[in-house]
Amino acid sequence: MEFQERSIAEDYEHIVQNRRPLIIDCDTGTDDAIMLIAAAGCGVFDIRAVTSAVGNVSQENTSKNNLDIAEYLGWDVPVARGAYKTMYAGKRTLSTVHGATGLGDVTIPGAKRMQFEEERAPEVIYRIAKEEEGNLELLVTGPMTNIAIALLLYPDLKDLIKRITFMGGAMEGGNVVPHAEFNIWFDPVAANIVFTSGIPLLMIGLDVTERASLIDDDRKKFMSFNTRAGDLAANLLAFMLKREDNGLESAYMHDGLALAACADPLCVTTKKAHIRVEVLNDALSGKTYVELDPKDESKVNAQVAVDLYFHRFRVWLHEAVARIRNDVQVAAKYDLR
Ligand code: RIB
Ligand code: CA
């Protein structure tokens, strides 16, 4: 077959024409929000829906954040509300790392035109999984409650999901507690249902996300785009950097890296693994146990990211945010002047 020399524009068009169907389930907090901006711009996915989990803040707040961000970006994506409680019966407190609303000190206009889907997250996930006939992927960047509910409601869903890429867990250590990462810790029961579902998994854990930290130069880069999307990403990052100055969590792009790894596999290197989560021993609940390259191949239930190509990721994120250049059309379309 003669190689067709394609221009960059033709390459990008080819990508857009071959977008992969994806649903994003997130507990929109600050790094989820930057991930959503990049997801809207990257052009790799046909994003069928954004669904909200309880985690960083309440489901009411994560849902509102998802809807407001979508309208603010002029992003016509269905937004559905998820569970307001997790499956875990133990004591868990909402984090304060993302501020009261989840978007730190950043405020954007409340959505006026877009509305939530009538269906709740589990129904949306199942309906679209059937429509996409096994090609649907999920990107999960919060606790896995909605996915687990969907799996318990619909026995055939596990055969309809091509892969779940999730930000969560760690091979070693934790963040919210020494032994566990927040997303898994917040609902270990749900994580266990997903980990044992048989759906192919790509785990993006703290081992790589805590090496995906942005700095003020990245905030300036986002500002340099002179776009609504770039300014929003810059303001969210500014909050995260202020938080870091106060000795709190750094500006880790936990969820942005999960998106990038889902879109561009060369952003990380992975190994086959068996992963499981501690549920019964409350003192360690939420801890993830990762056995890399198990001798017994039949135990493999995930690919786990063991390294990242930070600069590839950083450029990918910048470009994805920069791509939402159609602000004028957006403003005109939604009269967002
Ligand atoms: O542990 C990091 C994860 O917890 C990220 O997804 C962050 O948004 C919070 O949900
Ligand atoms: Ca998150």
Q: Is the pLDDT of residue 7 over 90?
A: no
Q: What is the 134 CA–ligand 1 centroid distance (Å)?
A: 28
| Alpha-carbon dihedral 96, 100, 105, 110, rounded to 10 degrees | 140
The rounded distance, in Å, linking the Cα atoms of 296 and 299 is 6
pLDDT in tens, 74-129: 999 999 999 999 999 888 877 788 999 999 999 999 999 999 999 999 999 999 99
The rounded distance, in Å, linking the Cα atoms of 237 and 325 is 19
- Name residue, tokens 């999984």: 129
| Tokens describing residue 97 | 């790392």
Of the ligands numbered here, which is closest to the C-alpha atom of 258?
1
Q: Is the pLDDT of residue 248 over 90?
A: no
**∠ Cα 121 76 73 (to 5°):** 110
Q: Which domains does the chain have, with CATH numbers?
A: 8-325 (3.90.245.10)
How many H helices and E strands in the chain? 13, 9
Q: Give percent of the chain with pLDDT exceeding 70.
A: 93
Q: Is the pLDDT of residue 269 over 80?
A: yes
Q: Kindly report the protein residue whose alpha carbon is nearest to atom 1 of ligand 1.
A: 182
pLDDT value, residue 117? 98
Q: What is the 335 CA–ligand 2 centroid distance (Å)?
A: 30
pLDDT value, residue 333? 43
Secondary structure of residue 273 in the 3-state scheme: strand
Beta-bridged to residue 285, according to DSSP, are none
Q: Kindly report the protein residue whose alpha carbon is nearest to atom 10 of ligand 1.
A: 142
CA within 13 Å, CB half, 81: 13
Q: Is the pLDDT of residue 10 over 80?
A: no
Q: Quick one: pLDDT band at residue 148, thresholds 50, 70, 90?
A: very high
pLDDT value, residue 93? 77
Secondary structure of residue 152 in the 3-state scheme: helix
- Ligand 1 binding pocket includes 32 (Cβ within 6 Å): yes
pLDDT value, residue 337? 36
pLDDT value, residue 2? 65
pLDDT value, residue 325? 61
Q: Which helix (H) or strand (E) holds 241?
A: helix 228-245
Residues with catalytic function: 254
Query: If you average pLDDT over every residue of the chain, what do you get?
Result: 93
> Mean pLDDT over residues 7-26, rounded?
82
- Residue 43: phi and psi, rounded to 5, are 80, 0
Q: What is the separation of C-alpha 33 from the centre of its chain, rounded to a whole number of angstroms?
A: 9
pLDDT in tens, 29-87: 999 999 999 999 988 899 999 999 999 999 999 999 999 999 999 999 999 999 999 99
- Ligand 1 binding pocket includes 41 (Cβ within 6 Å): no
Q: What is the 118 CA–ligand 1 centroid distance (Å)?
A: 27
pLDDT value, residue 326? 54
Q: Is the pLDDT of residue 171 over 50?
A: yes
More confident residue, 185 or 92: 185
Tell me whether strands 45-52 and 161-167 are parallel, antiparallel or unpaired.
unpaired
Signed CA dihedral, 185, 191, 193, 198: sign only: negative
**∠ Cα 332 222 317 (to 5°):** 100
Q: What is the pTM of this model?
A: 0.93
pLDDT value, residue 332? 41
Q: What is the 255 CA–ligand 2 centroid distance (Å)?
A: 6
pLDDT value, residue 334? 41
- Name residue, tokens 């910048």: 318
- Ligand 1 binding pocket includes 142 (Cβ within 6 Å): yes
